[in-house]
Structure 1
Amino acid sequence: MFFKLNLTALAGTMALLAACGTKPDTAQKAAPAAAPAAPPNPDEVTVGAAQLQAAGVALGTFERQNMTTEVQANGSVEVPPQNRVSITAIMGGYVQTVAVLAGERVAAGAVVATLRSPEYLTLQQNYLQSKARVRFLAEDLERQRILDVEDVGAKRKLQQARADYASEQATLHATAAQLRLLGISVARLDATGQIVASVPLTTPIGGYVKAVNVNPGQYVNPQDVLVEVLNRDDLHLELKVFEKDVAKVQVGQKILFKIQNANRDEELTARVFLVGKAFDDDARTVRVHAHFEPERRDLLPGQFVAARIQTAGARVQTLPEGALIQAGDLSYIFRRVSQDSGRTTFRRVRVRAGQPQHGDVAVTILDPLPDTTQLVRKGAYFLDAELRKGEGGDE
């Protein structure tokens, strides 16, 4: 009887254990399936604090400053036409001496070369002969006047004497003017009667000799340029502005420019004082002239320049150039969106960028952001590289 009861109890216990063993499986089968993870934002990148420090990433906000719009122009350093002279021979002749070298400084009136020619001798001879004839005709005219007063001479002879005297005087004055153009002293010729074989060529302005194009013994014609002289006292910029930009340029605007092909990277300044009123028909450009600020004495006429004419100004939001990623017509910046457990998440934001000025760029935010938003001001290219690396991994 006792044995029968124990068997019954054992059977009950095993049934209870079997029931308990099946409950976990049933509960596991009844558990709902886990939700799939959300896909990462393609404009976000998360990096650690050590990476940010190694890449030199710096955060900050927008700055507001006056940024100008600019017109790009090329040109050169020039002098006005009255400060540039090309010395030629009034009459053809042979070069006897050359008195200057290229680069030499000369004063106004200085002799740069001397010429000689038989024609110079003939011209002085003609002057002396004409002068003697004028003296004879003056005396003859006086005699005819006396005779006319005494009613002895004919009226026709008086008129002829007067005409001959006036004609020869004109010849004398013309010959004297030619001698002065040649540089021969008429006063000395009158005083001494001595004919000289050579004539000096002088410079009408002081300055530096730009070029010497002759040598002794060479025959030169009146159209040949023998020596060129430049006066650098009025150096200025001469720029060529395209037709589409001319309306933006006005007198008084500031110009920033650099000398092309120069060893120095210095940016110089000038200010517009004259805007041309006619187009160059070939290039469709207008000439703009500007004075240096301050005056520059170390520049040379003919040096080419690349210039930026500052045409307008406005106070706008700006970021350093290193904060922007160029992407065609649009650019990108990075803003901080979260920070957790030593890791920071940044999101890419679309902007429209202006022209860089002094390392800063005016930006227009296409998706509005508060001015207090923490932005990446330095190291944007590192974050862009990390973002692209993540895009490559997803593919």
Structure 2
Amino acid sequence: MEMKNKNKTRWVLLGLMIAGAVVALLLWAFYFNKPKTQNRANDSSIYQLEYTVRRSSVADYLEIVGTVDAPIYQVVSSVSGALKTFDIQVGDRVSKDATIAVLDDIQYRLNYLEAKVDYENALYDSPISLEQKQLQFLIAERNLKNATVRSPVSGIITEVSAREGANISQNGAICTIVEDDALFVQGFLDEVDIQKVRTSQKVLFEFKSFGLTYEGKIARISQIANSESGIVVIPAEFSFNDDPRKKGIIPGL
């Protein structure tokens, strides 16, 4: 009987030891197999990084190459005749409405006087006759006025096409004037960029060889594209906000 009790006690102790070992094993497994997110949350050596996003604007821009240009006017004679006075040279500066050339106007003055007399004498004629004489007088007056050729703009003479004493036909070329006080930049936009631009948008001109920059805007975008060697571009003109001639900017740069 005593032997049985001892054996029973041993089995109970052994069972308790095994149960304790199992519990210890489970606790160990639970502790060391926790999700990493829980370990990191409880670990004081893990730092949280915070990023502050600030709102900012990033400007989109296009870069193109252009050429400084200016309006060009070819001066022609509206009437025919011999050049009586013509004393201009390439490089001369002229003002708007300045006299460039004077044609021999004797015949034009005679025609004017005759037409004036006819018109005055027809004041009591029929309405049709009066209107006819009036139109003839106006034509004679205009031809006499056009015998003096004037500059259409202020600018520089870049080409002389006639000489004093030469006979000029109607619409004959006399000279060419560049309106250099209306400089602009001629450039070309790529077809893929045409949707990004519009007139009046701001532009910045850079003249690297001069070390100069000027502000301006898009003045005109052509409605007709140019195609050459498979490349499609759209002509555009850009105007200056300030006069670039003050710093030596001239057409052709």
**What TM-score do the two structures reach when normalised by structure 1?**
0.42
Aligned to 2:250: 300
Moved over 6 A (4+): none
- Asked if residue 71 in structure 1 is aligned to residue 62 in structure 2, the reply is yes
The verdict on how the C-alpha distance between 1:162 and 1:236 changes in structure 2, with shifts beyond 3 A counting, is: closer
Q: How far apart are residue 97 of structure 1 and its match?
A: 3.1
CA distance in 2, matches of 1:165, 1:267: 64
8 Å Cα contact 1:273-1:289 kept in structure 2: yes
Residue among 128, 136, 140 paired with 1:175: 140
Q: Going by fraction, where is strand more abundant, 1 or 2? A: 1
- Asked if residue 126 in structure 1 is aligned to residue 111 in structure 2, the reply is yes
Per-residue CA shift, 1:97-117, capped at 9, x if unaligned? 32222222222222222223x
Q: How far apart are residue 161 of structure 1 and its match?
A: 4.5
- Asked if residue 86 in structure 1 is aligned to residue 35 in structure 2, the reply is no
Identity of aligned pairs, percent? 16
The verdict on how the C-alpha distance between 1:278 and 1:122 changes in structure 2, with shifts beyond 3 A counting, is: same
RMSD: 3.1
CA distance in 2, matches of 1:121, 1:252: 55
Q: How far apart are residue 211 of structure 1 and its match?
A: 2.0
- Aligned positions of 1:1-395 closer than 5 A: 71-79=62-70, 81=71, 84-116=72-104, 120-138=105-123, 141=124, 161-180=126-145, 182=146, 199-250=147-198, 251-258=200-207, 264=209, 266=211, 268-283=213-228, 284-292=232-240, 295-297=243-245, 298-303=248-253
Q: How far apart are residue 240 of structure 1 and its match?
A: 1.1
8 Å Cα contact 1:270-1:290 kept in structure 2: no
Structure 2 SS opposite 1:87: strand
Q: How far apart are residue 69 of structure 1 and its match?
A: 5.7
AA matched with 1:96: K
CA distance in 2, matches of 1:132, 1:269: 60
Aligned to 1:364: none
Structure 2 SS opposite 1:127: helix
AA matched with 1:252: Q
CA distance in 2, matches of 1:244, 1:124: 60
Q: How far apart are residue 203 of structure 1 and its match?
A: 1.0
CA distance in 2, matches of 1:133, 1:68: 72
Structure 2 SS opposite 1:279: coil
AA matched with 1:76: T
Q: How far apart are residue 256 of structure 1 and its match?
A: 4.4
Per-residue CA shift, 1:325-364, capped at 9, x if unaligned? xxxxxxxxxxxxxxxxxxxxxxxxxxxxxxxxxxxxxxxx
Q: How far apart are residue 293 of structure 1 and its match?
A: 6.0
What number of residue pairs does the alignment pair up?
192
**What TM-score do the two structures reach when normalised by structure 2?**
0.62
| Unaligned stretches of 5+ residues in structure 1 | 1-65, 142-159, 183-198, 304-395
Per-residue CA shift, 1:204-224, capped at 9, x if unaligned? 322222222222233333333
Aligned to 1:335: none
Q: Which gives a bigger RCO, structure 1 or 2 (Cα 8 Å, sep 6+)?
A: 1
CA distance in 2, matches of 1:234, 1:211: 18
CA distance in 2, matches of 1:113, 1:294: 33
The verdict on how the C-alpha distance between 1:287 and 1:209 changes in structure 2, with shifts beyond 3 A counting, is: same
